[in-house]
Structure 1
Amino acid sequence: MSKTTVDLSLATRPSDADAVSGLIKDLDGLNQNWKEENEETRLKMVVKARSLLQSLLTPREQMVQHTWADPGLDAALITGVDVGLWKLMVKNGVDAVHKVDDLAKSLGMDPQLLGRLMRHVCAMGHLVEVAQDEYKLTNFTKSMSLDVIGDGYVCLLGGIGRSPFEFYKFLRETNWRNPVDAAHTAFHASYNSTVPNCMLYLGTIGMGPQMNHHMGGYRQGRLPWHHPKIYPVEKELFPGAEPDAPLVVDVAGGLGHDIDEFRRKYPNHPGKLILQDLAPVIEDAKDIDPSIERMPHDFLTEQPIKGARAYFMHSILHDWPDDVCQKILARLAEAMKPGYSKLLIFECVIPSTGAYWESTAGDMLMMTQLSACERTEDQWHSLIEGSGLGLKITKFWSSGLSAVENVIECELA
């Protein structure tokens, strides 16, 4: 007969002591063949190392980490970005020893406050302690000086961070149903906001640039959609492309990172490249090559470019529940030319088992902020082929790396 209660002593013992030895052996085995450029092995080592740490920590320690340490670390990191701490430390010497009193004076901060913040950042492994109130940067805190890294903390945690922590309240009020209403999300409930979604809300509170920086940071170190290891454009897209017609329409392409990188990778591409997004975003897309046409467009309205070789979307559909996605897809299907046009969707495809933590983290972010989701392969088939839009998936193109998006190639059925 199984027990109906858990003995309190369980919370003060290592979570899985029996697994420790095997995990160390697994890590050692992976390390034998690991080189820094071997990304798949690195990702496997991350998973094993995470499992090792969790096996060694007691449940009590994990509780304190989740409820005390991690929120405290976030508070210190966000403050550091906001006050300019990480940029100042890099400016004063990327590998120098930094004294709290000197930093506090330059920043106009109370040295006791700054010392407490930096002490916790150090205790969590992100600064190196040289002496009392003297620290050196790690590679992580060096990177916090970069807008594409640091600004993610300000906008996601400082700007809309209340939504995931109050998600349970939203679920309680919606009878614990899977959230699928883009007009009624945990964000709306947490911030009592009438702004259509959290991304637009960030713009209203002056954090639009920080969100754009975060999206740029999210893409760092990840293979672009047009990398030969993922989607061989010279084989699949260029043959048969009409030379003076639109080649790629980057729908809701933001500031143009993807389309401009594509142009640099394939400078002799046939056809035209077009970047589309809402007018305020297009106005800010100033750092892309002038050969790329910039076009204001709302993807819920009729697609003005007809018969392009490819319509491309990167991390767009995961922002929306199925009903909105179907409207977006319908506008594209109407514009596609049978037997010629392709729809290329560059997004996460969650496996049915063994999902990687970064994919599930994205799913939690979409769910708690937008009532949307990251999708499994079955869900992609259901969304694209089961909604009567006349589209079919021809192939999922993947590099094989668990932390990288797939290109979901679609055509008219």
Structure 2
Amino acid sequence: MSQTVDLSLATRASDPDAVPGLIKDINNLHSSLKEGDEETRHKLAIKARSLLQSLLTPREQMLQHTWADPGLDAAIITGVDVGLWKLMVKNGVDTPQKVEDLAKSVGMDPVLLGRLLRHVCAMGHLEEVAQDEYKLTNFAKSLSLDVIGDGYVALLGGIGRSPIEFFKFLRETKWQNPIDAAHTAMHASYNTDLPNCFEYLRSIGMGPQTNHHMGGYRQGRLPWMHPTVYPVEKTLFADADTSPDATLVVDVAGGLGHDINEFKKYYPNHPGKLILQDLPVVIADVKGLDTSIQLMPHDFLAEQPIKGARAYFMHSILHDWPDDVCIKILSRLADAMKPGYSKLLIFECVIPRTGAYWEATAGDILMMTQLSALERTEDHWRQLIEGSGLKLKITKFWSSGQSDIENLIECELA
């Protein structure tokens, strides 16, 4: 017998019975929260979100998703684009600021700016001092940082239609799981023949913003070389070739060099050479790296020019590509590895079989809608690396300990 949902369900709190237990859990977690305790903070944030969702009605959640969140994005992106958030920080991070003065400085209609900031405030991201006068919250202050603010411009302003119009793409593909890197929802939404969303973003002048976001989303996570994640000195330094021409780590498609530069800071007395590789257009934008790090233009689909390095490292690279392209990338690295000596280190999201965290699932949808790619489970990683004829084996998944968003996948030649 078919069932229907009564409309009144949409106007009642979603799960009021859960509220007392959630409040108890929140109080217990808060009592044990200490400065720097990321695991407890993470659990507390999840419980707080569950509490809010239990109290909101489905109607309110629908309006948040379709009205409030897009409106907030519109205001944030505009603010980044005109330099508003940087201006407000320059004026004083704790200084009340009038809309009229801000509008004059950034060249905006004060009525327009007032409407935008009123919504940002209503969404909890500005503090209202008086009519059309606001103070920055910590979130709004952070929007002045390129690694935070530029993500809004690149992902939403540059390629934001892809997930919104994904359903249209699925209609055309008869609702098949996307696995073709040359035919993605991004290609359909923006009617482009460029190879991928990165090339498209560069073509519309958003290459720097994209690079900033690549550094921004990793902030606050433990780096792969942190001693609590991976024992670098024991696994890489021990028995490493110390001759002048020996290479210790090749950071493959390492972008602007955030990882390799951090490695240098952690281990300034490392043996061997450190090499950063990426496409020429990316390498040209690299600034501020330790001068001992060698910069090398390289396309990871071409033959790997550095043979027999102690370690080849990739951070959030394979999740950009479906399996067929990943096999090509991995085969180039496997061909360059020295048996019994070289390691392949892959720092990526590993989705658990159950209880996945929203950052992991959101990343999976992002990869799917922009690149026809994916975030992988442990089973999928094993299938890709060990079951594709690459002559590679996984020796261990090293957990970051931060809700397992990212693991370091250590591989060797089989």
* TM-score of the aligned structures, taking structure 1 as reference length: 0.99
Query: CA–CA distance in 2 between the matches of 1:284 and 1:109?
Result: 31
Query: CA–CA distance in 2 between the matches of 1:399 and 1:215?
Result: 19
2:350/2:405 contact within 8 Å kept: no
SS at match of 2:237: coil
SS at match of 1:344: strand
The C-alpha deviation readout for 1:308-367, integer Å capped at 9, x for no partner, is 100000000000000000000000001111111000000000100000111111111101
Q: Is 1:68–2:67 an aligned residue pair?
A: yes
Query: Corresponding residue for 1:391?
Result: 392
Greater CA drift, 212-221 or 315-324: 212-221
The C-alpha deviation readout for 1:287-323, integer Å capped at 9, x for no partner, is 2112111111111011111111000000000000000
Query: Corresponding residue for 1:348?
Result: 349
Query: CA–CA distance in 2 between the matches of 1:231 and 1:373?
Result: 25
2:127/2:136 contact within 8 Å kept: yes
Query: Corresponding residue for 2:185?
Result: 186
Query: Corresponding residue for 1:106?
Result: 105
Query: CA–CA distance in 2 between the matches of 1:402 and 1:234?
Result: 25
Q: Is 1:38–2:24 an aligned residue pair?
A: no
1:222/1:404 contact within 8 Å kept: no
Query: CA–CA distance in 1 between the matches of 2:294 and 2:143?
Result: 33
Within 5 A, what are the aligned runs for 1:85-234? 85-234=84-233
Amino acid in structure 2 at the alignment position of 1:288:
L
Deviation at 1:399, TM superposition (A): 2.6
The C-alpha deviation readout for 1:45-77, integer Å capped at 9, x for no partner, is 111111111100000000000000000000000
Query: Corresponding residue for 1:376?
Result: 377
Unaligned runs of 5+ in 1: none
Greater CA drift, 399-408 or 95-104: 399-408
Query: CA–CA distance in 2 between the matches of 1:43 and 1:223?
Result: 14
1:179/1:367 contact within 8 Å kept: yes
Unaligned runs of 5+ in 2: none
1:358/1:403 contact within 8 Å kept: no
Query: CA–CA distance in 2 between the matches of 1:194 and 1:287?
Result: 34
SS at match of 2:208: helix
* TM-score of the aligned structures, taking structure 2 as reference length: 0.98
Q: Over aligned residue pairs, what C-alpha RMSD do you find?
A: 0.9
Query: Corresponding residue for 1:59?
Result: 58
Identity %: 80
2:126/2:135 contact within 8 Å kept: yes
Query: Corresponding residue for 1:296?
Result: 297
The C-alpha deviation readout for 1:109-137, integer Å capped at 9, x for no partner, is 11111110000000000000111111100
Deviation at 1:403, TM superposition (A): 5.4
Greater CA drift, 375-384 or 282-291: 282-291
Deviation at 1:275, TM superposition (A): 0.8
Query: CA–CA distance in 1 between the matches of 2:287 and 2:295?
Result: 10
1:223/1:404 contact within 8 Å kept: no
The C-alpha deviation readout for 1:79-107, integer Å capped at 9, x for no partner, is 00011111111111110001111111111
Deviation at 1:43, TM superposition (A): 0.6
1:359/1:403 contact within 8 Å kept: no
Query: CA–CA distance in 2 between the matches of 1:29 and 1:50?
Result: 16
Deviation at 1:410, TM superposition (A): 0.3
The C-alpha deviation readout for 1:145-181, integer Å capped at 9, x for no partner, is 1111100000100000000000000011101010000
Query: CA–CA distance in 2 between the matches of 1:101 and 1:281?
Result: 40
